[in-house]
Amino acid sequence: MSSWTKLDEPPHRYKSADAFLPLIQNISGIQNLTTRSAAATCNWTDEELLQYPYGRLEDYIANPPSGHEVELMRSSWQAFVKESLLPYPRGEFLHQRPVGTHNFYFSKTPYNDISRVNFQLKTAALLNSRFAEPLLLDSDNVPAPGAEPAALWDSAAYREFGTVFWPDVQRAHRENPVYAATNTRCRRDEYELESGQLLVDKRRFWYHLQLTDWFLAQPRLFGRYLLGDKDTFRFAWGALRTRYGRPRRWVTLVGTMLPRPRSETDRRPVEAFCGHSFAQHHPDTGEVAFVHGGALKSYGAPLLQRLQIKDKDKGKDKNSIWSITSGRVWMRTGARLSTPANQTEAPIYCIDFENQPARDVEEILPGFAAAFEQAGGLWMIGDKYRAGISGA
Protein backbone atom coordinates (compact mmCIF):
# COMPACT_ATOMS: atom_id res chain seq x y z
CA MET A 1 0.00 0.00 0.00
CA SER A 2 1.38 3.38 -0.96
CA SER A 3 2.53 5.79 1.76
CA TRP A 4 0.01 8.46 0.77
CA THR A 5 -2.78 6.32 2.26
CA LYS A 6 -1.25 6.80 5.73
CA LEU A 7 -1.56 10.58 5.91
CA ASP A 8 -2.77 11.88 9.26
CA GLU A 9 -5.36 14.18 7.69
CA PRO A 10 -8.47 12.32 6.41
CA PRO A 11 -9.27 13.22 2.79
CA HIS A 12 -12.62 14.82 3.61
CA ARG A 13 -10.63 17.60 5.30
CA TYR A 14 -8.57 18.46 2.25
CA LYS A 15 -9.05 22.17 1.59
CA SER A 16 -9.10 22.08 -2.19
CA ALA A 17 -9.91 19.79 -5.10
CA ASP A 18 -6.27 19.75 -6.22
CA ALA A 19 -5.20 18.43 -2.82
CA PHE A 20 -6.74 15.14 -3.99
CA LEU A 21 -4.49 14.87 -7.05
CA PRO A 22 -1.68 12.86 -5.34
CA LEU A 23 -4.28 10.43 -4.02
CA ILE A 24 -5.90 10.18 -7.44
CA GLN A 25 -2.63 9.53 -9.24
CA ASN A 26 -1.82 6.75 -6.78
CA ILE A 27 -5.36 5.35 -6.61
CA SER A 28 -4.28 2.02 -8.07
CA GLY A 29 -2.04 1.53 -5.05
CA ILE A 30 -4.98 0.86 -2.75
CA GLN A 31 -5.33 -2.74 -1.67
CA ASN A 32 -8.14 -4.17 -3.78
CA LEU A 33 -11.22 -5.69 -2.19
CA THR A 34 -13.04 -8.75 -3.44
CA THR A 35 -16.82 -8.90 -3.38
CA ARG A 36 -16.55 -11.19 -0.38
CA SER A 37 -14.17 -8.99 1.60
CA ALA A 38 -16.15 -5.82 0.82
CA ALA A 39 -19.32 -7.49 2.11
CA ALA A 40 -17.76 -9.01 5.22
CA THR A 41 -18.39 -5.93 7.38
CA CYS A 42 -22.16 -6.19 6.78
CA ASN A 43 -23.09 -9.43 8.49
CA TRP A 44 -26.83 -8.91 8.26
CA THR A 45 -29.22 -11.11 10.19
CA ASP A 46 -32.03 -12.90 8.36
CA GLU A 47 -34.49 -10.30 9.69
CA GLU A 48 -32.35 -7.44 8.42
CA LEU A 49 -32.12 -9.03 4.98
CA LEU A 50 -35.92 -8.90 4.76
CA GLN A 51 -35.74 -5.10 4.96
CA TYR A 52 -34.73 -4.77 1.32
CA PRO A 53 -37.70 -3.37 -0.62
CA TYR A 54 -36.67 -5.08 -3.84
CA GLY A 55 -36.17 -8.49 -2.26
CA ARG A 56 -33.21 -10.78 -2.83
CA LEU A 57 -33.85 -11.41 -6.51
CA GLU A 58 -31.17 -9.26 -8.13
CA ASP A 59 -29.36 -11.21 -10.80
CA TYR A 60 -25.94 -10.38 -9.38
CA ILE A 61 -26.81 -12.27 -6.17
CA ALA A 62 -27.72 -15.49 -7.95
CA ASN A 63 -25.12 -14.98 -10.68
CA PRO A 64 -22.35 -12.76 -9.27
CA PRO A 65 -19.94 -11.17 -11.72
CA SER A 66 -16.55 -12.78 -12.08
CA GLY A 67 -13.41 -11.35 -10.54
CA HIS A 68 -12.39 -10.32 -14.04
CA GLU A 69 -15.60 -8.27 -14.46
CA VAL A 70 -15.10 -6.55 -11.11
CA GLU A 71 -11.52 -5.72 -12.05
CA LEU A 72 -12.70 -4.28 -15.37
CA MET A 73 -15.11 -2.00 -13.47
CA ARG A 74 -12.32 -0.95 -11.10
CA SER A 75 -9.65 -0.35 -13.71
CA SER A 76 -12.05 1.63 -15.91
CA TRP A 77 -12.93 4.26 -13.33
CA GLN A 78 -9.34 4.42 -12.10
CA ALA A 79 -8.15 5.09 -15.64
CA PHE A 80 -10.75 7.83 -15.96
CA VAL A 81 -9.70 9.72 -12.83
CA LYS A 82 -5.99 9.41 -13.66
CA GLU A 83 -6.26 10.39 -17.32
CA SER A 84 -9.47 12.26 -18.12
CA LEU A 85 -10.46 14.60 -15.29
CA LEU A 86 -10.96 18.24 -16.18
CA PRO A 87 -8.76 20.56 -14.12
CA TYR A 88 -10.33 22.66 -11.42
CA PRO A 89 -11.66 25.87 -13.07
CA ARG A 90 -10.02 28.48 -10.88
CA GLY A 91 -11.83 31.79 -10.51
CA GLU A 92 -15.00 30.68 -12.29
CA PHE A 93 -17.24 29.91 -9.30
CA LEU A 94 -19.24 32.30 -7.17
CA HIS A 95 -17.75 31.92 -3.69
CA GLN A 96 -20.44 33.85 -1.85
CA ARG A 97 -23.85 32.32 -1.26
CA PRO A 98 -26.32 34.47 -3.14
CA VAL A 99 -29.91 33.40 -3.30
CA GLY A 100 -30.46 32.08 -6.78
CA THR A 101 -31.08 29.10 -8.99
CA HIS A 102 -29.26 27.49 -11.87
CA ASN A 103 -31.09 25.40 -14.45
CA PHE A 104 -29.18 22.99 -16.65
CA TYR A 105 -28.70 24.18 -20.19
CA PHE A 106 -26.60 22.86 -23.03
CA SER A 107 -23.72 25.27 -22.69
CA LYS A 108 -20.23 25.18 -24.13
CA THR A 109 -18.97 23.08 -21.24
CA PRO A 110 -17.89 19.45 -21.68
CA TYR A 111 -20.91 18.33 -19.64
CA ASN A 112 -23.52 19.13 -22.28
CA ASP A 113 -24.45 15.76 -23.77
CA ILE A 114 -27.86 16.29 -25.38
CA SER A 115 -28.67 12.59 -24.97
CA ARG A 116 -28.99 13.12 -21.22
CA VAL A 117 -32.47 12.62 -19.85
CA ASN A 118 -34.00 12.48 -16.41
CA PHE A 119 -31.62 12.05 -13.46
CA GLN A 120 -28.50 12.17 -15.67
CA LEU A 121 -28.99 15.93 -15.84
CA LYS A 122 -28.32 16.39 -12.13
CA THR A 123 -24.57 15.96 -12.10
CA ALA A 124 -24.33 17.98 -15.31
CA ALA A 125 -26.26 20.80 -13.61
CA LEU A 126 -23.94 20.65 -10.59
CA LEU A 127 -20.82 20.75 -12.72
CA ASN A 128 -22.15 23.51 -15.00
CA SER A 129 -23.45 25.69 -12.21
CA ARG A 130 -21.40 28.76 -11.31
CA PHE A 131 -22.11 28.20 -7.62
CA ALA A 132 -19.16 27.00 -5.56
CA GLU A 133 -21.39 25.42 -2.90
CA PRO A 134 -24.62 24.38 -4.63
CA LEU A 135 -27.67 22.94 -2.93
CA LEU A 136 -29.25 20.51 -5.39
CA LEU A 137 -33.03 20.05 -5.14
CA ASP A 138 -35.22 17.85 -7.31
CA SER A 139 -38.16 19.66 -8.88
CA ASP A 140 -40.57 17.74 -6.63
CA ASN A 141 -38.70 18.67 -3.45
CA VAL A 142 -39.74 21.63 -1.30
CA PRO A 143 -38.27 23.17 1.87
CA ALA A 144 -40.42 22.56 4.92
CA PRO A 145 -42.45 25.52 6.26
CA GLY A 146 -40.28 27.46 8.67
CA ALA A 147 -37.10 25.71 7.57
CA GLU A 148 -34.23 27.94 6.49
CA PRO A 149 -32.13 26.16 3.82
CA ALA A 150 -29.34 28.74 4.24
CA ALA A 151 -28.69 27.32 7.71
CA LEU A 152 -27.45 24.07 6.14
CA TRP A 153 -24.16 25.69 5.12
CA ASP A 154 -23.50 26.46 8.79
CA SER A 155 -24.35 22.97 10.04
CA ALA A 156 -21.66 21.00 11.85
CA ALA A 157 -21.92 18.19 9.30
CA TYR A 158 -21.29 20.50 6.36
CA ARG A 159 -18.49 22.40 8.07
CA GLU A 160 -16.70 19.13 8.83
CA PHE A 161 -17.26 17.19 5.61
CA GLY A 162 -18.05 19.80 2.94
CA THR A 163 -21.07 17.70 1.98
CA VAL A 164 -24.44 16.62 3.29
CA PHE A 165 -25.96 13.54 1.71
CA TRP A 166 -29.38 12.37 2.92
CA PRO A 167 -30.39 8.68 3.38
CA ASP A 168 -32.93 6.60 1.52
CA VAL A 169 -35.06 3.93 3.20
CA GLN A 170 -33.11 0.94 1.91
CA ARG A 171 -29.61 -0.40 2.11
CA ALA A 172 -27.63 -1.56 -0.89
CA HIS A 173 -27.12 -5.31 -0.97
CA ARG A 174 -23.79 -6.29 0.52
CA GLU A 175 -23.17 -8.46 -2.57
CA ASN A 176 -23.36 -5.42 -4.85
CA PRO A 177 -20.11 -5.60 -6.86
CA VAL A 178 -19.76 -1.81 -6.90
CA TYR A 179 -18.48 -2.06 -3.32
CA ALA A 180 -15.52 -4.15 -4.46
CA ALA A 181 -15.07 -2.26 -7.72
CA THR A 182 -14.63 1.00 -5.80
CA ASN A 183 -12.71 -0.63 -2.91
CA THR A 184 -15.45 0.52 -0.56
CA ARG A 185 -16.42 -1.57 2.45
CA CYS A 186 -20.09 -2.12 3.16
CA ARG A 187 -21.13 -0.34 6.37
CA ARG A 188 -23.91 -1.51 8.66
CA ASP A 189 -24.90 2.06 9.51
CA GLU A 190 -25.11 3.25 5.91
CA TYR A 191 -28.14 3.41 3.65
CA GLU A 192 -28.40 4.19 -0.01
CA LEU A 193 -28.56 7.91 -0.73
CA GLU A 194 -31.77 9.80 -1.45
CA SER A 195 -30.49 12.43 -3.83
CA GLY A 196 -33.60 14.59 -4.02
CA GLN A 197 -31.49 17.04 -2.00
CA LEU A 198 -27.73 17.28 -1.81
CA LEU A 199 -25.22 19.87 -0.58
CA VAL A 200 -21.62 19.88 -1.80
CA ASP A 201 -18.58 22.16 -1.88
CA LYS A 202 -17.33 22.01 -5.47
CA ARG A 203 -14.10 23.78 -4.53
CA ARG A 204 -13.11 20.64 -2.66
CA PHE A 205 -14.96 17.89 -4.51
CA TRP A 206 -14.82 18.95 -8.15
CA TYR A 207 -13.15 15.68 -9.11
CA HIS A 208 -15.58 13.58 -7.06
CA LEU A 209 -18.48 15.07 -9.02
CA GLN A 210 -16.77 14.24 -12.30
CA LEU A 211 -16.41 10.63 -11.21
CA THR A 212 -20.08 10.61 -10.17
CA ASP A 213 -21.00 11.83 -13.64
CA TRP A 214 -18.76 9.19 -15.23
CA PHE A 215 -20.54 6.41 -13.31
CA LEU A 216 -23.85 7.66 -14.73
CA ALA A 217 -22.41 7.49 -18.24
CA GLN A 218 -21.54 3.79 -17.86
CA PRO A 219 -24.89 1.94 -17.92
CA ARG A 220 -23.35 -1.40 -18.87
CA LEU A 221 -20.53 -1.32 -16.36
CA PHE A 222 -22.29 0.32 -13.40
CA GLY A 223 -25.87 1.23 -14.29
CA ARG A 224 -27.28 -2.25 -13.80
CA TYR A 225 -26.01 -2.30 -10.20
CA LEU A 226 -27.18 1.18 -9.18
CA LEU A 227 -30.70 2.58 -9.05
CA GLY A 228 -30.54 5.88 -10.89
CA ASP A 229 -28.09 8.57 -9.84
CA LYS A 230 -28.33 8.45 -6.07
CA ASP A 231 -25.62 5.94 -5.12
CA THR A 232 -23.23 7.17 -7.79
CA PHE A 233 -22.43 9.98 -5.31
CA ARG A 234 -21.84 7.59 -2.43
CA PHE A 235 -19.58 5.28 -4.39
CA ALA A 236 -17.64 8.15 -6.00
CA TRP A 237 -16.82 9.44 -2.52
CA GLY A 238 -15.93 5.91 -1.40
CA ALA A 239 -13.71 5.35 -4.44
CA LEU A 240 -11.72 8.48 -3.56
CA ARG A 241 -11.49 7.48 0.13
CA THR A 242 -13.63 10.36 1.30
CA ARG A 243 -16.26 10.40 4.02
CA TYR A 244 -19.38 12.51 3.59
CA GLY A 245 -21.65 14.40 5.97
CA ARG A 246 -25.09 13.08 6.82
CA PRO A 247 -27.96 13.88 9.19
CA ARG A 248 -28.22 12.24 12.57
CA ARG A 249 -31.86 11.34 11.99
CA TRP A 250 -33.15 8.83 9.47
CA VAL A 251 -35.84 9.61 6.92
CA THR A 252 -39.50 9.97 7.90
CA LEU A 253 -42.23 8.80 5.54
CA VAL A 254 -45.03 11.14 4.53
CA GLY A 255 -48.10 9.61 2.98
CA THR A 256 -51.79 8.92 3.33
CA MET A 257 -54.22 6.27 4.48
CA LEU A 258 -55.94 4.26 1.78
CA PRO A 259 -57.97 1.06 1.53
CA ARG A 260 -56.34 -2.14 0.36
CA PRO A 261 -57.40 -5.83 0.41
CA ARG A 262 -56.70 -7.73 3.60
CA SER A 263 -55.04 -10.55 1.68
CA GLU A 264 -55.00 -12.28 -1.69
CA THR A 265 -58.01 -14.37 -0.70
CA ASP A 266 -59.82 -11.84 1.50
CA ARG A 267 -60.63 -8.80 -0.63
CA ARG A 268 -62.41 -6.86 2.10
CA PRO A 269 -60.73 -3.44 2.39
CA VAL A 270 -58.61 -2.46 5.35
CA GLU A 271 -57.11 1.01 5.86
CA ALA A 272 -53.34 1.04 5.46
CA PHE A 273 -50.61 3.65 5.35
CA CYS A 274 -49.13 4.43 1.94
CA GLY A 275 -45.91 6.42 2.08
CA HIS A 276 -45.37 8.50 -1.05
CA SER A 277 -42.89 11.19 0.11
CA PHE A 278 -39.77 11.56 2.25
CA ALA A 279 -39.31 14.07 5.05
CA GLN A 280 -35.57 14.71 5.37
CA HIS A 281 -34.05 16.37 8.41
CA HIS A 282 -31.58 19.10 9.24
CA PRO A 283 -28.26 17.33 9.92
CA ASP A 284 -27.80 18.96 13.34
CA THR A 285 -31.21 19.78 14.79
CA GLY A 286 -33.25 16.86 13.47
CA GLU A 287 -36.04 19.22 12.41
CA VAL A 288 -37.64 18.52 9.03
CA ALA A 289 -35.83 20.49 6.34
CA PHE A 290 -37.29 19.12 3.08
CA VAL A 291 -40.20 17.08 1.79
CA HIS A 292 -39.42 15.15 -1.38
CA GLY A 293 -42.51 14.13 -3.36
CA GLY A 294 -41.10 10.83 -4.61
CA ALA A 295 -43.99 8.67 -5.74
CA LEU A 296 -46.61 11.40 -5.19
CA LYS A 297 -46.03 12.90 -8.62
CA SER A 298 -46.93 9.63 -10.34
CA TYR A 299 -50.36 9.19 -8.72
CA GLY A 300 -52.33 11.54 -10.94
CA ALA A 301 -55.59 13.33 -10.27
CA PRO A 302 -58.01 10.37 -10.14
CA LEU A 303 -56.00 8.60 -7.47
CA LEU A 304 -55.29 11.73 -5.49
CA GLN A 305 -59.02 12.33 -5.33
CA ARG A 306 -59.31 9.17 -3.28
CA LEU A 307 -56.16 9.54 -1.22
CA GLN A 308 -57.66 11.12 1.87
CA ILE A 309 -57.60 10.32 5.57
CA LYS A 310 -60.25 10.71 8.25
CA ASP A 311 -59.03 11.86 11.64
CA LYS A 312 -61.79 10.30 13.72
CA ASP A 313 -60.08 11.17 17.03
CA LYS A 314 -61.02 14.83 16.55
CA GLY A 315 -64.65 14.00 16.06
CA LYS A 316 -64.83 15.27 12.50
CA ASP A 317 -63.71 14.30 9.06
CA LYS A 318 -60.36 15.73 8.03
CA ASN A 319 -59.64 15.55 4.34
CA SER A 320 -55.93 15.41 3.69
CA ILE A 321 -53.42 13.59 1.53
CA TRP A 322 -50.83 13.96 4.27
CA SER A 323 -49.98 11.76 7.22
CA ILE A 324 -46.65 10.54 8.59
CA THR A 325 -45.12 7.40 9.96
CA SER A 326 -41.58 6.68 11.10
CA GLY A 327 -39.68 3.78 12.62
CA ARG A 328 -36.68 1.53 12.30
CA VAL A 329 -38.05 -1.50 10.48
CA TRP A 330 -39.83 -1.08 7.19
CA MET A 331 -41.35 -3.20 4.49
CA ARG A 332 -42.50 -2.75 0.94
CA THR A 333 -46.22 -2.66 0.30
CA GLY A 334 -48.16 -2.12 -2.88
CA ALA A 335 -51.73 -1.34 -3.82
CA ARG A 336 -54.02 -1.10 -6.80
CA LEU A 337 -56.85 1.38 -6.76
CA SER A 338 -59.76 1.75 -9.14
CA THR A 339 -59.97 5.19 -10.67
CA PRO A 340 -63.29 6.95 -11.37
CA ALA A 341 -65.69 5.63 -13.96
CA ASN A 342 -64.42 4.98 -17.46
CA GLN A 343 -60.80 4.85 -16.31
CA THR A 344 -58.61 1.79 -15.84
CA GLU A 345 -57.31 0.41 -12.58
CA ALA A 346 -53.88 1.85 -11.80
CA PRO A 347 -51.04 0.48 -9.66
CA ILE A 348 -49.34 2.72 -7.15
CA TYR A 349 -46.21 2.32 -5.07
CA CYS A 350 -46.34 2.55 -1.29
CA ILE A 351 -43.70 2.38 1.44
CA ASP A 352 -44.51 1.70 5.06
CA PHE A 353 -42.59 1.28 8.31
CA GLU A 354 -43.75 -1.89 9.97
CA ASN A 355 -45.41 -1.72 13.39
CA GLN A 356 -45.38 2.08 13.48
CA PRO A 357 -48.65 4.01 13.77
CA ALA A 358 -49.42 6.80 11.35
CA ARG A 359 -49.75 10.27 12.84
CA ASP A 360 -51.04 13.54 11.51
CA VAL A 361 -48.40 15.39 9.51
CA GLU A 362 -49.21 18.60 11.41
CA GLU A 363 -47.24 17.16 14.36
CA ILE A 364 -43.94 17.72 12.59
CA LEU A 365 -44.94 19.95 9.68
CA PRO A 366 -47.59 22.40 10.89
CA GLY A 367 -49.17 24.18 7.97
CA PHE A 368 -47.43 22.07 5.33
CA ALA A 369 -50.49 20.63 3.61
CA ALA A 370 -52.08 24.08 3.26
CA ALA A 371 -48.83 25.68 2.12
CA PHE A 372 -48.22 22.90 -0.40
CA GLU A 373 -51.61 23.37 -2.03
CA GLN A 374 -51.39 27.16 -1.93
CA ALA A 375 -48.05 27.00 -3.75
CA GLY A 376 -49.61 24.92 -6.51
CA GLY A 377 -48.37 21.54 -5.35
CA LEU A 378 -51.65 19.94 -6.38
CA TRP A 379 -51.47 21.45 -9.85
CA MET A 380 -52.37 18.15 -11.51
CA ILE A 381 -55.83 18.14 -9.94
CA GLY A 382 -58.54 19.85 -11.95
CA ASP A 383 -61.52 21.67 -10.45
CA LYS A 384 -63.73 18.60 -10.39
CA TYR A 385 -61.13 16.72 -8.34
CA ARG A 386 -59.97 19.62 -6.16
CA ALA A 387 -63.37 19.82 -4.47
CA GLY A 388 -62.86 16.27 -3.26
CA ILE A 389 -59.45 17.08 -1.83
CA SER A 390 -60.39 20.28 -0.06
CA GLY A 391 -63.60 18.94 1.36
CA ALA A 392 -65.44 21.94 -0.03
Phi, psi of 199 (to 5 degrees): -125, 130
| pLDDT, tens digit, 9 for 90 and up, residues 362-378 | 888 888 877 777 766 66
Residue 150: pLDDT band (50, 70, 90) is: very high
Close Cβ partners of 166 (under 8 Å, ≥ 6 residues apart): 193, 194, 195, 196, 197, 198, 246, 247, 251, 280, 290
Buried b (16+ CB within 10 A) or exposed e, 298-317: ebebbbbbbbbbeeeeeeee
Residue 330: pLDDT band (50, 70, 90) is: very low
Distance CA 21, CA 19 (A): 6
pLDDT for residue 14: 97
Q: Is-contact 226 192, C-beta < 8 A?
A: no
The strand pairing partners of 324, in sequence order, are: 254, 359
Closest CA to 135 of 164, 160, 168: 164
| pLDDT, tens digit, 9 for 90 and up, residues 60-89 | 888 899 999 999 999 999 999 999 999 998
Residue 309 DSSP one-character state: -
Residue 49: pLDDT band (50, 70, 90) is: low
Residue 179 pLDDT > 80: yes
Residue 32 DSSP one-character state: P
Distance CA 118, CA 104 (A): 12
pLDDT for residue 2: 42
pLDDT for residue 153: 96
pLDDT for residue 347: 61
pLDDT for residue 308: 54
Q: What is the DSSP string of 182-201?
A: TT----TT---EEEEEEEE-
Residue 239 pLDDT > 50: yes
Q: What angle do CA 253, 296, 304 make, to 5 degrees?
A: 115
pLDDT for residue 335: 47
Most confident residue range from 28-37, 86-95, 219-228: 28-37
For the packed helices 202-216 and 67-83, what is the interaxial angle rounded to 10 degrees?
140
pLDDT for residue 300: 64
pLDDT for residue 3: 40
Q: How many CA atoms lie within 13 Å of 223's alpha carbon, on the beta-carbon side?
A: 9
Residue 333 pLDDT > 60: no
Provide the residue ranges of all domains of the chain, joining segments of one domain with +.
12-239, 252-390
Residue 38: left (phi > 0), alpha (psi -120 to 50), or beta?
alpha
Residue 234 pLDDT > 50: yes
The mean predicted confidence, pLDDT, of the chain is 79
Distance CA 32, CA 50 (A): 29
Q: How much is the average pLDDT of 199-214? A: 96
pLDDT for residue 164: 98
Distance CA 155, CA 157 (A): 5
Cβ-based burial of 286 (10 A; exposed 0-12, middle 13-18, buried ≥19): exposed
Q: Which of 97-101, 115-119, 258-262, 334-338 has the lowest mean pLDDT?
A: 334-338
pLDDT for residue 151: 94
Q: What angle do CA 340, 346, 349 make, to 5 degrees?
A: 130
Q: Which of 73-82, 311-320, 321-330, 338-347 has the lowest mean pLDDT?
A: 311-320
